[in-house]
Amino acid sequence: MELDVSRNNLTGEIPLEYMENGSLEDWLHNQRQQQSQSNLSLVKRLNIAIDVAYAVHYLHYLCETTILHCDLKPSNVLLDGDMVGHVSDFGQARLLLEPVSQGNATTTTSGMKGTVGYVAPEYGLGSEVSTKGDVYSFGVLVLEMFTRKRPTDEMFREGLNLHDFVKDVDSPGKLVSNVDPILLGEEAQDDDERGRRNRGKRMEKIQNCLIAILEVGVGCSIESAGERMNMADAIGKLQSIRDMLHSR
């Protein structure tokens, strides 16, 4: 089932419309990968991340009854003809019957089953599901979108995970070896001096934006639930990054 809480519709209506661009999973890893090398740009990925953030915030705090999605991952983000992200598949969702404050929602439903790599670590210890669990999954999703690495990639073993892989990315030098290289090769190759200078400034801006985006993903996917960023702050930071990316 799809609940349309994208940036184009925050009404909570449930239309079962055809999503002609498939899933984010397709664009990152599967049959659309070749096409996505030219079409899934930094701006489009950032817009989709903001779409998902708004959807999660809506489910947690703007619905009459709080909804925990409990299975956020690229295959559950569908893309319409305008590449707007729609959160889908509420088969594992949980409802909270009590009003909640930011970050403190819990439910008495236990035995939560999610998808390996995206499930909050506290669930494996028997903790009740909460809004912070969705925040964790969102953080992993963001990191995957901009590194094009699954959290279950074979490189993540012996204690290393996607969060740790990027958490110390605080400089352009470290960024190059961690993000999807497509995102660092989008600029046109101008031969004249002015073009090279402008391209250098643009690349510096892209690098700073990517570092800031990864910081949001890391902040949302911290192992300790109480230390995670809340969705309102994540939305604010991602929108600020988009504004910076579009600024001259």
CATH of the domain at 124: 1.10.510.10
At 26-62, the pLDDT tens digits run 999 985 555 555 579 999 999 999 999 999 999 999 9
11 located within any domain: no
199 located within any domain: yes
Regarding predicted confidence, which is higher, 145 or 14?
Answer: 145
pLDDT at residue 201, rounded to an integer: 86
Contact 135, 56 (CB under 8 A): yes
Q: Buried b vs exposed e over 222-243: b needs ≥16 C-beta within 10 Å?
A: beebeebbbbebbbebbeebbe
1 located within any domain: no
Q: How far is CA 10 from the centre of its chain?
A: 19
Options 51, 71, 89, 180, the catalytic residue: 71
Alpha-carbon gap, residue 160 to 156, rounded angstroms: 5
14 located within any domain: no
Longest distance between any two alpha carbons in the chain, whole Å: 64
Alpha-carbon gap, residue 54 to 232, rounded angstroms: 8
Q: How far is CA 101 from the centre of its chain?
A: 23
Q: Give the total number of structural domains in the chain.
A: 1
Domain residue limits at 186: 24-246
pLDDT at residue 77, rounded to an integer: 98
154 located within any domain: yes
Q: For residue 127, give every residue at least 6 positions away whose Cβ sits within 8 Å of its Cβ, in sequence order, or none.
A: 120, 225
**Catalytic residue list contains 71:** yes
Q: Count of residues for the chain? A: 248
pLDDT at residue 158, rounded to an integer: 82
- In this prediction, residue 12 has a pLDDT band, given cuts at 50, 70 and 90, of very low
Contact 242, 47 (CB under 8 A): yes
Q: How far is CA 51 from CA 13, 28, 119, 225, 240, in A?
A: 16, 17, 20, 23, 14
Q: The pTM is what?
A: 0.86
238 located within any domain: yes
Q: What percent of the chain has pLDDT over 90?
A: 62
57 located within any domain: yes
Alpha-carbon gap, residue 42 to 186, rounded angstroms: 9
Alpha-carbon gap, residue 151 to 163, rounded angstroms: 8
Alpha-carbon gap, residue 96 to 159, rounded angstroms: 33
Contact 65, 97 (CB under 8 A): yes
pLDDT at residue 222, rounded to an integer: 97
10 located within any domain: no
